[in-house]
Structure 1
Amino acid sequence: MKKLSVFTTSTLTAAMLLASLPTQAAGFQLDAQSATGLGRAYAGDGIIADNASVMAINPAAMSMFDKTSFSMGATSVTSQIAVSDATYSSFLSWKKDVSANYDNAGGTDVVPNMYLIVPVNDKWALGAGLYSNFGTTTKFDSSYVAKEYGGKTKVLSGELALAASYRLNDQWSFGAGIDLIYGVGTFNRSIDIKMNDGPFIRPDYHTHTINMADIKADGFGVGWNTGIAYELDENNRWGFSYHHSPKITAKGDFDGVIGKASSEIYLPLPDFANFSGYNRFAGTPFAISYSIQWTGWNVFDKLDTNTNTIQNFEWNNTWHYSLGGTYYMNDQWTLRAGYMYDQGAQGKEVRTIAVPDSNRQWFSAGVSYAPTKDSSIDFGFTYLLGQDMHVHQNSIVTSIDATTRANAIIAGVQYSKSF
């Protein structure tokens, strides 16, 4: 019966946790730090500092605040995952090249965020932030023919960030902080098997659904970040930040075809670096912003337990490039728009229908309304467009070939106030 366990306990835990890696990552890891950033495709989000959410990208930018600033909001992430041109074969259920198409295996998650920046004096500022690096769901219903490759994957991760900044002079500021990252998730898979329920001389074969895996897992790690901000003047500034991500130790409880067990796995999360710029045209209500971000996915070459290597991967370092525009209509209304090109991390050898990945394009727009000079209500919207990707997955007894496409609709709302 162990041969029917297409995945080991640790591999299943790993597969579930792959979906919980930090921002900018593969497998629908979407930015959700703020509604203002969402409205400009996060272009310039490490230096604009139009609200306290900037600390999530660059702690040095906290030095630009001369008042206590508070922001809170939520982002809704609706993924649209389609599987087409799919054929499935299984020795266990006597199926050969049957259709495995699926219209939409996506889901919707609401991701909250909250930030506070407190200037201590004209040199120092302190900040705290609570937000999620990831929140998404993929779910194939129980009638799906290739349910061992689909099933349900749901992961949520949260981050508590604590940071400080120091202003050296009118141009230069520096910042640093720590990131406390915690993630939880579930992972469910099953498989159809035809078995003989009758006497040997008159076999009566029926399809039975066997539970392969029912996993609940969580993990915790501590990272750090640092940043620099340079202000030429009030209309022109640039920032650079670097985030060192931790190696997460994740523990999972497994219940499936090989029985109940527990497992511990180590996930090396990627570092990332962000460069952001902001330039407002003097004497006009127009400004442009831009960002380039690198994510070091090459560290994710394998998954290890405390006893062995589970599986090797060939993930690639990625870049994203974003460009945004801001129109300050008047003292109450601000309009935003932006575009991002975001590379996928997964190589040709690691693709799945449950967590598809590809290069993505972001098309974003947003608006802010300021009821008072010290407060604003912000809205952001993004349509994320993925590419068609070929996926081949197989085990000893089953296989699937398919084309996947993963799009998303992201909407955010936020309230900010200075004291």
Structure 2
Amino acid sequence: MKKFTVSCLAIAGLSSYQVHSAGFQLNSQSVAGLGRAFAGDAIIADNAAVIAKNAAAMSLLDRPTLSIGAIAIDSKVELTDILYTPPSSSTQSLGDTTIDNLTVVPNFHYVHPVEHSRWTLGTTLHSNFGTDVEFDRDFAAPEFGGTTKLSSVNFGLSAAYEATDALSLGLGIDIIYGKGEISRPNLLNIDADGTAVGFNTGIAYIINDNHRLGLSYRYAPSLDASGTVDPLNGLATDLSVPLPDILEFSGYHRLHNRFALHYSLQYITWSEFDALTSPSFDDPIKDYQWQDAGHLSLGMTYDLQERTELRAGYMYDLSPVDQINSLSIPDSDRHWFTLGATHNFSQALSVDVALGYIVGEETKIDESMTIVRTSNIAALTNNSAWLAGLQLNYRF
């Protein structure tokens, strides 16, 4: 079983009102990618951010390129029709609850073609996971509420080799640092951090000047926590949570000198995320039993004029939640609608802007928890988010 640090548990673990992507994945590596709902991200290579999706596609950049940007995520989860049955008491109706959160996720990418060779090198610094959620202290069902905070940083080094004029191969190493905090009053307290090493590989295939395909695979690392893990006073220092691998296929097709279509199909092995465990305890701390999922995204780009490109996209993001659902992860299938643009101020300098709206399908939660006696909560959840990004690209 693969393991993931409790520092990144906050993204994966006991609660995450992060509504940016289904499950607890972040899509925030590229502002240009956001504008097209990340369609074609593993092959388009319109800036250095492609290193975060497919190292092989770095070969498409013929000049050293720097991309620096950030995406702001304004998310909302609405809980309605809440019925709470506390231990040793009758069922009561709770008032509607709304949880808002504003997060800014930065990114940094640099790609450098090696002169007089078929090699391209690159480095990236971005976040794949993250959330910051806090229920009100007076939330009437504290064992289902509490606080979840996470920050994670992915530092990557990659290389691409142009095997032929049509085929490039890529390989990269990922070093992940995460820090997280989870608390449930009188039930759970987690505060820990950790690092781990994973890898990614990819292929870029150029059919001709107007058509190209990309395939990438990202292996989920194994991380071990260090810190405080205290589920109901059963103190431990380690906790494990499985994390999935990611497989992505992308295509780009220029159908007119000003117009192109692109797409991505991403498959995520969420079935590996079965339970949160600790070597200190015989039983899982929390069962999830998720199913494999992923997303399908479609996008288009249009060259409005010589220096300005417009883009738009749609993504259907499939939730991995199966038979077991939880108020702490009110996940649902999501629909993304995005717009974006790039303006080239010169041959060297360009700026990307993007705006996106995510809406999740309404989901019914019915969750029980047994501590000394059983408590239960049921509710309808609706989640949504606005995303806005700005990114600067410089070609040396």
TM over 0.5: yes
1:305 paired to 2:274 = no
1:208 match: none
**Residue 36 of structure 1: SS of its match in structure 2?**
helix
2:260 match: 287
- The percent of aligned pairs where both chains have the same amino acid is 39
Q: Shift in Å at residue 28 of structure 1?
A: 4.5
1:242 match: 217
Q: 1:12 to 1:74 in 2, by over 3 A?
A: closer
State which of 12, 16, 32 in structure 2 corresponds to 1:36: 32
Give 1:165-180 correspondences, 5 Å limit.
165-180=160-175
Q: Shift in Å at residue 91 of structure 1?
A: 2.9
1:104 paired to 2:98 = yes
Q: Shift in Å at residue 15 of structure 1?
A: 6.6
Cα separation, 2, equivalents of 1:369 and 1:151: 44
Q: Shift in Å at residue 354 of structure 1?
A: 2.8
1:113 paired to 2:86 = no
1:116 partner letter: Y
TM-score (norm: length of structure 1)? 0.86
2:47 match: 51
1:333 paired to 2:272 = no
Residue deviations 1:291-328 (CA, integer Å, cap 9, x gap): 00100112222333224341443210012100000011
Q: Shift in Å at residue 248 of structure 1?
A: 2.0
- Figure out how many residues of one structure are paired with residues of the other and give that number: 384
Q: Shift in Å at residue 186 of structure 1?
A: 1.4
2:329 match: 355
Cα separation, 1, equivalents of 2:11 and 2:63: 42
Q: 1:320 to 1:40 in 2, by over 3 A?
A: same
Q: Shift in Å at residue 54 of structure 1?
A: 0.3
Unaligned runs of 5+ in 1: 1-9, 191-210
State which of 81, 87, 112 in structure 2 corresponds to 1:85: 81
State which of 380, 384, 389 in structure 1 corresponds to 2:354: 380
Cα separation, 2, equivalents of 1:86 and 1:16: 24
Q: 1:142 to 1:312 in 2, by over 3 A?
A: closer
Question: Does the 8 Å CA contact 1:217/1:253 hold for their aligned counterparts?
Answer: yes
Cα separation, 2, equivalents of 1:220 and 1:392: 35
2:224 partner letter: T
State which of 113, 126, 139 in structure 1 corresponds to 2:121: 126
Give 1:156-195 correspondences, 5 Å limit.
156-190=151-185
Q: Shift in Å at residue 106 of structure 1?
A: 3.0
Question: Does the 8 Å CA contact 1:72/1:414 hold for their aligned counterparts?
Answer: yes
1:394 match: 368
Cα separation, 2, equivalents of 1:372 and 1:296: 42
Q: Shift in Å at residue 11 of structure 1?
A: 10
Question: Does the 8 Å CA contact 1:12/1:213 hold for their aligned counterparts?
Answer: no
Question: Does the 8 Å CA contact 1:16/1:186 hold for their aligned counterparts?
Answer: no
Give the root-mean-square deviation of aligned CA atoms.
2.4
Cα separation, 2, equivalents of 1:137 and 1:184: 12
Question: Does the 8 Å CA contact 1:39/1:337 hold for their aligned counterparts?
Answer: yes
2:338 match: 364
1:199 match: none
Unaligned runs of 5+ in 2: none
Larger radius of gyration: 1
1:226 paired to 2:204 = no
Cα separation, 1, equivalents of 2:215 and 2:19: 17
1:148 match: 143
Q: 1:405 to 1:179 in 2, by over 3 A?
A: same
TM-score (norm: length of structure 2)? 0.91
